[in-house]
Amino acid sequence: MKLIFNILQFGAVRVFLCIMLIMACCPLMAQQVGGIVTDYVSGEPLIGVKVIWRGTSIGTTTNKDGHFTLKESQNATDIVVSYTGYRSDTLYNVNGTNIKVRLVQTSMALQSVSVHARRKAVYSDFSSLTNKEVTTVEGLRGLACCNLGESFENSATIDVGYSDAVSGSKQIQLLGLTGVYSQMLLENIPFLRGLTTPYGLGYVPGQWMESISVSKGVATVKNGCEAITGIINLEYEKPDKGDRFSINLYENSDLKSEITTKFNHRFNDHLSTGLYLFGTYSGRRFDHIGHDGFADYPLQQQLNVLNRWDYEVGHDFHSQTLVNYIHESRLGGDMRFERSMRGNDSIYGFGGTSNRLYFMTKNGFMISNTASFGSQVSGSWFRHDAWYGLSEYKGEEKDVYVNLMVNAEVSGGHIVDYGASFRYSDMGEELMYKPYLTAAVLVFDPEISFVEVVPGVFGQYTFRYGDDFNATFGMRYDYNSHHERHLVSPRLHARWHMGDQYVLRLSAGRGFRTSNVIAENIGLLASGRDIVFADTKLDMEEAWNGGINLNKHFTISEGHSLTVSIDYFHTSFVNQVVVDLDANAGQAIIGNLVGRSWSNVVQADVNIEPFDGFSVSLAGKINSVFCDYHGVRMRKPYTPFWKGLAVFTYHTRFDKWRFDFTTQLNGPQRLPLNKGTLQGEASPYIYMLGQITRRFKQFEVYVGVENITDYVQETPVIGADNPFSQAFDASVVYAPLMGRLFYVGLRLNVM
Amino acid sequence: MKKVTLFLIAVFFLGTAFAQNKKNDTKTVEISIPGYCCNGLTPTIEKTLAYERGVVEWTTNLEKKSVTVVYREGKTNPAKIEKALAANGVRTANEKPNPRAIEKLPACCQPAAKGESGCDKE
């Protein structure tokens, strides 16, 4: 009932919806068709394959990575693909440069063979300009991932940690820096930013996602100037391709229940809609770890509803619109704490309520075979109301974003993109901070609230030399009204296929962002530290990022391959909003960077498929992240010095059984000065998880264990016996806060 | 915790119990699949049959565009098998395929109008 009431409250949001009906358009020129030819069985690119326009002698052959391009023909619309030892294939009415042809060997085509049609769970995208790691639906099936925060357990690239020991909220790190320096996109439109940062990862149900792709390094200019360390792009299920109905039920040994349902309906060939629902309920608190009277995980309820519409007319017009509403409430802290005890000064409690409405529409229009129009529009409203002990935090964010893009292939090998964007963000935050009983209430409002209008233009030029080399140079200009600054962000990307399956990639560029310092460091509120603003105005954060990546693909035998990837990324801050926890154990000093702040990250990945159905991926990473705090150069706290990861997946034929096992080795972390007994470095630890999935005709059942070794933080809450004193600190989290956890679930699909 | 473990074991073994097959009372049928003109369809056919109750074994035959299925009488029948194939997007002589499932088939099994390689129209 309360939910329905909340939904009706959005007066301001209705205004947004009207504004969002703006659409804009851009022509796309394509005078070439092209694509890639691969072996059906192994997926290996085929070299020297003949590709000709049907009924003519005009044609070409594929190059050494299986790619071909053909000038558009006046007389023919179909192409014939032929190759010695393979069955020829004819493609009708071809257009675009992304045609994928898979040829079947004749020696095999006439007999029954086993075909490796399975998609890999996690793979590196070879053809992508940036170093991209993609987790597919297959990969997500092997994790009981309830939400995005739990979907990175088999990724070495991303580290996930808790922000504090009472709220249960998680935060990610990419390239050794917190997730805010990367951009979280939903279907290529900025999705989670600003005030949604603290709990945002919990707003993306794992079962809604079709894939997650993580691109390391500075992004191209198309999505704004904020993506410094990379991009995480989420793809939700598409209503025209998804199953008619599916449901997922999950229950764990801490009595957390989750339900995900998805309905997809196709009205006809053009119009389809999807209604996705997600609910989570965690109705009991446990105090397994620490035995300090504090709940390990808060009571939590979430309702998440998404409705999307897809309208498509062949390749001519494509429109996607979605609306998402989220309501969440949490209650944690002392086991005895109840919601009605808010503000109580003898029993420590944490509570929070969030509401979010998000709207997005993407439209692409083609007026002929060679020209198209497109736009991205999104809007969101978010309200968060929380308390941490005696401190009260309220945040309200209103955001409108419009991005218009033009893509044009000027002539063969020269592609130009340009466009304009506009963002309006109203970040209203209010913090009444009383970290301990004897402290005076400090009210932060003007320091942390602002309205930001950011118009921008961008242009990007891509040069392609065959398929072996492509380079993109982009520039964008934005004006930020809050900081009254003109922002120029150059971005460079290059990819070079150096023969024999070596791929080298380079990226470099500058990025800017406005910090929401309280939202991004919300865990601080769960401590007895005084918050001190050293500067009256926090400047924009500005950083340069550069990286290099080398990839090598080995073919072991038919269908089995080995991939090795090594990369190095450097980020250097011109300005950063620094939270100094080391000047004094009882203070958090927030200010602009004085001195230097940088991050160096080296990562190596090996993926191998030694035999059918079995795959192993191994990864190692070294994070070297330093910052100057009050003139002293120190490692960034809570960033593991190194990390190792091993993921094993085995599935039987036809996927009837599936076994997933992951081991993480998390290196030591530097702890900031604190009031606890553990100072300096937290020791390394092992984290293991595993899952078994059994598939039946229309459903599958899974069981799993998280944190198999049961390694947990000994003292999750410092000063738990005296939570209203300066000795209290629940923000020092360096190890898992959940012990060994069993879960069971059921997925059912109706196609 | 014990209850959970017991429950899981029960669920798993309940499932495997269905898969028990005895090779008596078997019959053989050849099902025609007109759209079977590339090997891309093979995994879909095999996966469908692998999960079909009463199906003992099968041989796909791309040249004849058919699949020969050995099944247990009483557990299933040719009509049921054809329905199952159609539900996964495979057109048989008597059953129309599920349009949503066709979308998930590999490119070479897609209708030619999609601009991808199709074999139906040849």
The yes-or-no verdict on residue B2 having pLDDT over 90 is no
List of chain B residues whose C-beta atoms are within 8 Å of the C-beta of residue A266 = 99-100
**Contact between B43 and A115 using a beta-carbon 8 Å cutoff:** yes
In chain B, % of residues over pLDDT 90: 26
**Per the structure block, which two tokens stand in for B43?**
């995994």
Residue A656: count of CB within 10 angstroms of its CB = 18
Distance from CA of B63 to the nearest CA of A (A): 6
E strands of B6-101, at which residues? 26-32, 55-61, 66-72
**pLDDT category, A145, cuts 50, 70, 90?**
low
Residue from A119, A654, A658, A747 to probe the interface with B (highest B Cβ count within 10 Å): A654
The yes-or-no verdict on residue A708 having pLDDT over 70 is yes
Four-point Cα dihedral A531, A532, A537, A538, nearest 10:
-60
- Which stretch of A24-28, A557-561, A579-583, A701-705 has the lowest confidence by average pLDDT? A24-28
**Per the structure block, which two tokens stand in for A392?**
């009260």
In 3D space, the residue among A276, A283, A307, A275 whose CA is nearest the CA of residue A207 turns out to be A276
- Which stretch of A175-179, A275-279, A553-557 has the lowest confidence by average pLDDT? A553-557
List of chain A residues whose C-beta atoms are within 8 Å of the C-beta of residue B42 = 112-113, 115
**Contact between B38 and A104 using a beta-carbon 8 Å cutoff:** yes
In 3D space, the residue among A349, A329, A351 whose CA is nearest the CA of residue A337 turns out to be A349
DSSP A193-236: -GGGTTTGGGGSBGGGEEEEEEEESPPPGGG-S--SSEEEEEEE
**Per the structure block, which two tokens stand in for A532?**
């001190």
- Which stretch of A109-123, A196-210, A442-456, A651-665 has the lowest confidence by average pLDDT? A109-123
Residue from B64, B103, B117 to probe the interface with A (highest A Cβ count within 10 Å): B117
List of chain A residues whose C-beta atoms are within 8 Å of the C-beta of residue B40 = 40, 102, 104, 115, 117
CB A658, CB A613: distance < 8 Å = no
Distance from CA of B26 to the nearest CA of A (A): 21
Q: Which residues contact A620 (CB under 8 A, 6 or more apart)?
A: A156, A603, A604, A642, A643, A644, A645
**Contact between A102 and B106 using a beta-carbon 8 Å cutoff:** yes
Distance from CA of A91 to the nearest CA of B (A): 4
pLDDT at A559: 65
Higher pLDDT, A113 or B122: B122
For A45-95, what is each residue's pLDDT tens digit?
777 777 877 766 677 777 767 788 877 776 667 787 877 656 667 776 677
Q: Which of A135-139, A224-228, A327-331 has the highest mean pLDDT?
A: A327-331
**Contact between A101 and B107 using a beta-carbon 8 Å cutoff:** yes
For A514-550, what is each residue's pLDDT tens digit?
999 999 999 999 999 999 999 888 899 999 999 999 9
pLDDT at A112: 26
Higher pLDDT, A718 or A413: A718
**Contact between A40 and B53 using a beta-carbon 8 Å cutoff:** no
In chain A, % of residues over pLDDT 70: 87
Closest Cβ–Cβ partner in A96, A101, A253 for B4: A253
**pLDDT category, A20, cuts 50, 70, 90?**
very low
Tokens 């969101």 found at: A380
pLDDT at A694: 93
pLDDT at A7: 39
| Full 3-state SS string of B91-113 | CCCCCCCCHHHHCCCCCCECCHH
Distance from CA of B121 to the nearest CA of A (A): 9
Q: A243 to chain B: nearest residue by CA?
A: B100
The yes-or-no verdict on residue A596 having pLDDT over 50 is yes
List of chain A residues whose C-beta atoms are within 8 Å of the C-beta of residue B16 = 694
E strands of A434-537, at which residues? 442-444, 450-465, 469-480, 485-497, 502-513, 530-533
Q: Which fold has domain B24-114?
A: Alpha-Beta Plaits (3.30.70)
Q: What CATH number labels A2-26+142-750? A: 2.40.170.20
Higher pLDDT, A95 or A347: A347
The yes-or-no verdict on residue A185 having pLDDT over 70 is yes
**Per the structure block, which two tokens stand in for A699?**
């459903």
**Contact between A697 and B5 using a beta-carbon 8 Å cutoff:** no
pLDDT at A625: 96
Distance from CA of A656 to the nearest CA of B (A): 8
Find how far residue A172's CA is from the centre of its chain: 9
The yes-or-no verdict on residue B104 having pLDDT over 80 is no
For A366-398, what is each residue's pLDDT tens digit?
765 555 678 999 999 999 999 999 999 999 999
The yes-or-no verdict on residue A333 having pLDDT over 80 is yes
The yes-or-no verdict on residue A171 having pLDDT over 60 is yes
> What is the residue extent of each domain of chain B?
24-114
- Alpha-carbon distance of A568 to A217, in angstroms, equals 10
CA distances from A716 to A100, A295, A732, A741, B14 (A): 52, 10, 7, 17, 41
List of chain B residues whose C-beta atoms are within 8 Å of the C-beta of residue A701 = 11-12, 15
Q: Which of A60-69, A73-82, A410-419, A725-734 has the highest mean pLDDT?
A: A725-734
Closest Cβ–Cβ partner in B5, B12, B101 for A701: B12
The yes-or-no verdict on residue B7 having pLDDT over 70 is no
CB A33, CB A370: distance < 8 Å = no
The yes-or-no verdict on residue A711 having pLDDT over 50 is yes
Q: Pinpoint the residues of chain A covered by CATH 2.40.170.20.
A: 2-26+142-750
Distance from CA of A256 to the nearest CA of B (A): 13
- Model pTM? 0.80
Task: Collect all residues from A whose CB is shorter than 8 A from any CB in B.
Answer: 40, 81, 87, 89-96, 99-102, 104, 108-113, 115, 117, 240-241, 243-244, 253, 264, 266, 315, 653-656, 694-697, 701, 703, 742, 744, 751
**pLDDT category, A2, cuts 50, 70, 90?**
very low
In 3D space, the residue among A399, A470, A20, A480 whose CA is nearest the CA of residue A225 turns out to be A480
CATH architecture of A32-109: Sandwich (2.60)
Averaged pLDDT for residues A581-589: 92
**pLDDT category, A37, cuts 50, 70, 90?**
confident
- Alpha-carbon distance of A541 to A513, in angstroms, equals 5
pLDDT at B118: 44
Query: Average per-residue pLDDT in chain A?
Result: 85
